[in-house]
Amino acid sequence: MARFLAPLLLAAASVHSQFIHNQLPVGSSFGVPNENATYDYVVVGGGTAGSVVAARLAQDGRFSVAVVEAGGFYELENGNRSVIPGYDFYSSGPTLAGVNPLIDWEFMTTPQAGGKNISIHYTRGRCLGGSSARNYMVYQRPTVGTMQRWADVVGDQSWTWENVLPYYKQSSTLTPPNTKLRMANTTTYYDASVFGKGPLQVGYSNYIAPFATWVNLGWKQAGDTIRTQGMQSGELLGHSILPSSLDAQSQERSSAQTSYINLAMKATQLTIYTHALAKRILFDSTKTATGVVVETRGLPFTISARREVILSAGAFNSPQLLMVSGVGPAATLQKYHIPVVRNAPGVGQNMEDNPFFAVNVAADLPTGSSYQNNPALFAQAIADYNSDRTGYLTSAGADIISFQKLSNRSELGISAHAKQALSWLPDDWPEAMFWSFAVWIGASFGSLPPDARNYGGIVGSITAPLSRGWVTINSSDTADLPIINPNMLTDPTDQEVAVATVRRIRDLLATDAMKAIAPEGEVFPGPNVTSFEDILSAIQGQYFTFAHASVTNKMGLSNDRMAVVDSKARVFGVNSLRVVDISAFPFLPPGQPQATVYMMGEKIADDILHGESGTSGHESQSMSS
């Protein structure tokens, strides 16, 4: 995580990406600002899910589709920092220092009760590709039990693992590790049969940190199992090396923009409006969504929809746009003199997220600290990347990832009350996640190492959080950022699991494998931090977010007053309006959600096309480069 520190920023421009050679479509691919226009479908938000839905609808050939995106192309507006895997942590720290407002919304949370009343920067992509252009790139799917619970909660068995696997497959293409370029210090397991030939490129970097070799051995010695089929086949418990949303040939980020939007613009009549801020959704007297008021550089215009408006603006902007358009908690709308189209108390509520925190060690082998402290070594990393796409900068950072149940380990001290609170979890749903990072994490996220030694960290995260946050509007204008309160680590059970996670990391550090490379042991929080209260205090002073905000427009049944959309992502109480993004999840699945956001986009696009055509099936036309 030291990759976003100043010494490395200075060198970023010297790394070459292939963006210029991708020959982006121009001209007719883009809408003209300040001119009213009409399309069959209007997709608000060109992020992860929005890109998928828009591309698939346009690709069908029968419909005109417009995408309204508040940002532009991240490759043009953020240089190579959103492209090169080794730079994926730039501008994603806890403050706005160094954040690029051209590709980030600059969201700040309210003071966090679970984090010593500190406000934190919440990274969200303001660009085509959305947060798939800003995330840590890990690609991983949930479990069979997770998706069965999803299907049961929303009352629709089309969401079971068996039924959504075809959408995971058709969204992605897996490229196996390049064994000629990739160091053989850790065996990589994967199941190629659960991938198809979809637009998103999923692959492995040409570098694994030496630190990961010892973490892998350590987890074996600590009693954790190896996932010999990887973590894409409906099982998670155990540890493995996960792939990234990465083009294996170029060793560059594969995002919803590079995979779906660019290809769709070349092959269809998809129209993109960039730097266009959606101001409100328009409804007629029958509560039917008819279009969107959009603004570019202060100039408003209207983009009308003959069939549907599809809201894909993300966990914060989607509920914000619903509320300013009259769909949301009535009291909130009335406070800002917004006419109520539908009183929907669940809009902006139910927020779930994954906090993370770390234990650090000083290591007797090269880590990310080596590159930070040695300009010549970092210059060599740049040369390696530019010459043959090898070395340190091909890695997005996370190497070994482990998912574990902790409540069944009595030595970790989880109370009977907390175990009862977690009893709803399916048997295959892990309670904690562990990432191996060969970098300093620190007493506060983004802090500098205390000295020039080599440091490594084990990151822990809660994967079944019970704390709930919210997002609400600050005015009736979407130009005013919403108020965001993730409210993480406020639930007592979450606090117990967090402390147990640190104790489990200490089990790992106590193994012979980890002692061999970190004989000094734990540096932070430190071996003297042992009581529940002291460990929790250390976590609360350090924790950050994986930026997995979700469920703020919850999918559910019509008799659930907090549900906002049905199982087809249609907004309750109005017509011709859907929400298709992570805000419409019924709950946050364990681990990294991006694969499931892609799946959701594919599934809802198929639902829409099925409804239009009267035909069924997962046989969506292949889209490949």
Residue 526 has pLDDT above 80, yes or no: yes
**74 labeled part of a ligand binding site:** no
Q: Residue 448 is encoded by which pair of tokens?
A: 């500098």
CA distance 122 to 104: 9
Token duo for residue 74? 């991240």
* Closest by CA position to 301, among listed 332, 323, 277, 270: 277
Task: Kindly state the average pLDDT of the residues 369-385.
Answer: 92
* Cβ contact 196:175 at 8 Å: no
What does the alpha-carbon distance between residue 141 and residue 153 come to, in Å, rounded to a whole number? Answer: 19
pLDDT digits (tens, 9 = 90+) for 46-57: 999 999 999 999
Rounded distance between C-alpha atoms, residue 532 and residue 178, angstroms: 44
Give the separation between CA 587 and CA 354, rounded to whole angstroms. 12
The predicted structure's pLDDT at residue 614? 30
Mean pLDDT score, 505-532 = 96
Tokens 């403050």 belong to which residue? 95
Q: What is the CA radius of gyration of the chain?
A: 23
CA separation for the pair 477, 39 (Å, rounded): 25
Query: CB 335: neighbour CB atoms within 10 A?
Result: 13
548 is catalytic: yes
Say whether 621 counts as a known binding-site residue: no
**What does the pLDDT average to over 542-557?**
96
**Which structure tokens are listed for 618?**
């997962």
Under the banding of pLDDT at 50, 70 and 90, the label for residue 613 is: very low
Torsion of CA 374, 380, 386, 388, to 10 degrees: -130
User: Is residue 593 marked as binding?
Assistant: yes
pLDDT digits (tens, 9 = 90+) for 327-362: 999 999 999 999 999 999 999 999 999 999 999 999
Of 103-112, 240-249, 266-275, least confident by mean pLDDT is 266-275
pTM across the whole model: 0.95
**Lookup: tokens for 484:** 């965001």
Burial class (CB in 10 A: 0-12, 13-18, 19+), 481: middle
Check 21, 275, 417, 548 and give the catalytic one.
548
142 closest CA partner among 501, 430, 553 = 430
CA distance 182 to 201: 18
138 is in an annotated binding site: yes
The average pLDDT across 567-589 equals: 98
**Residues above pLDDT 90, as percent of the chain:** 84
How far is 13 from 17, CA to CA, in rounded Å?
A: 10
**Confidence band for 197, pLDDT divided at 50, 70 and 90:** very high
Average pLDDT of the chain, as a whole number: 92
CB-CB contact of 73 with 50 (8 Å): no
Was 371 annotated as part of a binding site? no
Query: Does the annotation flag 528 for ligand binding?
Result: no
